[in-house]
Amino acid sequence: MSSETLTSTEYIRHHLTSLTYGRFPDGHWGIAHTHEQVNEMGFWAIHLDTMFWSILLGALFVWGFSRVARHATAGVPSGFQNFVEGIVDFINNSVRGSFSGKNDLIAPLALTIFVWIFLMNLMDLIPVDVIPRLSQMIGIPYMRVVPTADPNATFGMAIGVFLLTLYYSIKIKGVGGFVGELTLHPFESKNPIVKVLFIPVNFFLEFVSLVAKPVSLSLRLFGNMYAGEMIFILIALMYSAGAVLGAFGGALQLVWAIFHILVITLQAFIFMVLTIVYMDMAHSEH
Amino acid sequence: MHINLTLLGQLIAFVVFVWFTKKFVWAPIIAALDERQKKIAEGLAAADRGKHEQELAEHHAAEKLHEAKAQAAEIVSLAQKRAAEIVDEAKDDARTEGERLLTAAKAEIEQEANQAREELRQKVGALVVAGAEKILNKEINAAAHQKVIDSIASEI
């Protein structure tokens, strides 16, 4: 909250506005200082906070893990190497369990998704006001710290996964096989005329289910994290509503944060498992 | 909630992180894990082998021990036999030596007895002559009566 008193609506809106760098209607580029300016920017804008936190966390992940990987020995592992190997082993087992094809990219993909999403989700456990408040003190108007509560981040990853499934579908089954998969199921017929008649229906159904995959993948994660963040914001609102309600809010925040540990891990895991499953579907012939 | 350029940025960041992970994280860690797995398997196999070898060695040692015991028993029995032989030989030697000594002593005794008898015989002859002289109060020619003297002396 800034120094002047805010209404609840303004407080929530402030928390849900990203630090946006974009093109103003008059053509020049800059950082938006009000919610209206963000709305005016439209597509030609970039969320600096989402980019900063996600890349920072991703870099933290690859730095930590690659440090271990560089010094990885077959001898007795210790400390952080144990921890990393535990995660790697867990991912490896998950991939072997769900992915029947042979592709060296899937396991590292799953590892990146799991750890990166987990770290981004973890930002949700930092009390909602801490980082935005500190940012305001150094003159940054907006700051959203949970990248996965920004649909751009979740859609970015889901589209990445989607493009990979398209790539491998076409690579493994060929263009014909891929198109056939889209048009010749689920309604099949031996009669060529009926077969042709079924094509538009099949295509519609298969296309919807194809597109639904990345959309559901990203919206599931986004929805969970957005809702979680929203509840933290609402709980934070109680602190300004007197001592009794504030204390109650404190207890609530603790309970919700503990519950949220489960949610953030589970969402990271679900995203990873579904990615593996989609990749498996792309690799397997019908 | 705005979908904007951030989407593209996130997509690029995602691709870069996946690429980096594949190249610099996953490959070396999996290599290390595989290597360790191999090492452990080798270690276990070596342990099994060692155990087997130990069993063999124990078996071998027991066999050797058994053999050595048998040999020792044989040597002892041979030695005992030899000792008995030596004792018997010694006994025999002692017996023959004793007998030899005994016969030598007997022979000596006999010889001395003979010698004494001879001396006695001569002395008796002289005595007989002396006695007869006394009886006849005259000298007797010993040579003239040698026959008589000898016959008397031989009766001793």
Write down the pLDDT at residue B140.
66
pLDDT tens by residue, B57-84: 999 999 999 999 999 999 999 999 999 9
Write down the pLDDT at residue A3.
42
Is some CB atom of chain B closer than 8 A to the CB atom of A86?
no
Of A18, A285, A271, which is closest to residue A158 (Cα–Cα)? A271
Write down the pLDDT at residue A73.
76
Active-site residue (options: A18, A54, A218, A224): A224
- Specify the number of domains making up chain A: 1
Q: Which of A27-36, A43-52, A216-225, B124-133 has the highest mean pLDDT?
A: A216-225
Backbone angles phi, psi at A209, to 5 degrees: -70, -30
Reported confidence tier of residue B138, pLDDT bands at 50, 70, 90? low
- Where residue A27 falls (left for φ over 0; alpha for ψ -120 to 50; beta otherwise) is left
Is some CB atom of chain B closer than 8 A to the CB atom of A51?
yes
Stretch A87-113: mean pLDDT: 92
A96 belongs to the catalytic site: no
CA distance A273 to A103: 16
Tell me which residue in B5, B26, B30 faces A44 most closely, judged by beta carbons: B5
Domain that holds residue A233: 3-283
Contact flag A62-B39 (C-beta cutoff 8 Å): no
Tell me which residue in A20, A46, A74 faces B35 most closely, judged by beta carbons: A74
On average, the pLDDT of chain B sits at 90
As separate numbers, helices (DSSP H) first and strands (DSSP E) second, chain A gives 9, 3
Is some CB atom of chain B closer than 8 A to the CB atom of A165?
no
On average, the pLDDT of chain A sits at 89
CA distance A185 to A190: 13
